[in-house]
């Protein structure tokens, strides 16, 4: 392919990412979340790592703080940290009140929270430059807070995207 030298430096093949050098080391944040069909709210926790320990902390948060006295149904994909021995043991601790529905492999479109993650990324991270990781986390928290307000204009309407009747 004969490209101008400037374009040749910027040219990428499909599926590749262009890296932009920046000072400092990259920082990451991970958000665990659950959607409640009954009251149309999203519960979440932000963690530094996405692993079994962080997932277990989120399950304990859901079962002990968010829903301490009710039965809960959780729909989960097959992420390795969901299926780890420690995670399975933690899920079994709440077996009287917790029912887990495991999705088939490679079917994220069946989980309503996946649609919300796209919505969250669009509102909180797409085309945004956050000065610090704390600013990003604050934006994520604000976006989820707005999602839980019934009349907010940026709210994702789950019922519109996932109708219960065909």
For position 117, what pLDDT does the model report? Answer: 93
Q: pTM higher than 0.85, yes or no?
A: no
Of the candidates 116, 163, 137, the residue with the CA atom closest to the CA atom of residue 45: 137
Q: Which two tokens stand for residue 30?
A: 């991970």
Provide the greatest CA pair distance for the chain: 67
For position 126, what pLDDT does the model report? Answer: 86
19: left (phi over 0), alpha (psi -120 to 50) or beta: beta
φ/ψ of 56, rounded to 5, equals -65, -40
Name the DSSP letter for residue 43.
Answer: E
For position 15, what pLDDT does the model report? Answer: 73
- Rounded Cα distance between 5 and 103, Å, is 48
For the domain covering 27-148, report its CATH number. 3.30.420.10
Q: Residue 145 in contact with residue 152, Cβ under 8 Å? A: no
Q: For every one of its 166 residues, what pLDDT tens digit does the chain have, with 9 covering 90 and above? A: 565 554 445 555 677 776 666 667 778 899 999 999 888 899 999 999 999 999 999 999 999 999 999 999 999 999 999 999 999 999 999 999 999 999 999 888 888 899 899 999 999 988 888 888 899 999 999 999 999 999 999 898 877 766 665 5
């Amino acid at each position: 392919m004969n490209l101008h030298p400037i374009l040749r430096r910027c040219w990428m093949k499909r599926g590749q990412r262009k890296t932009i050098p920046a000072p400092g080391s990259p920082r990451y944040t991970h958000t665990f979340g659950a959607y409640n069909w009954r009251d149309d709210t999203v519960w979440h926790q932000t963690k530094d790592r996405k692993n079994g320990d962080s997932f277990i902390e989120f399950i304990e948060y859901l079962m002990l703080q968010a829903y301490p006295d009710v039965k809960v149904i959780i729909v989960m994909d097959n992420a390795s940290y969901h299926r780890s021995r420690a995670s399975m043991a933690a899920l079994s601790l709440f077996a009287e009140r917790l029912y887990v529905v495991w999705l088939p492999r490679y079917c994220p479109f069946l989980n309503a929270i996946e649609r919300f993650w796209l919505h969250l990324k669009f509102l909180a991270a797409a085309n945004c430059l956050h000065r610090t990781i704390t600013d990003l986390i604050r934006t994520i928290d604000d976006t989820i807070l707005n999602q839980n307000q019934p009349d907010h204009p940026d709210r994702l309407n789950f019922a519109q995207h996932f109708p219960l009747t065909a």
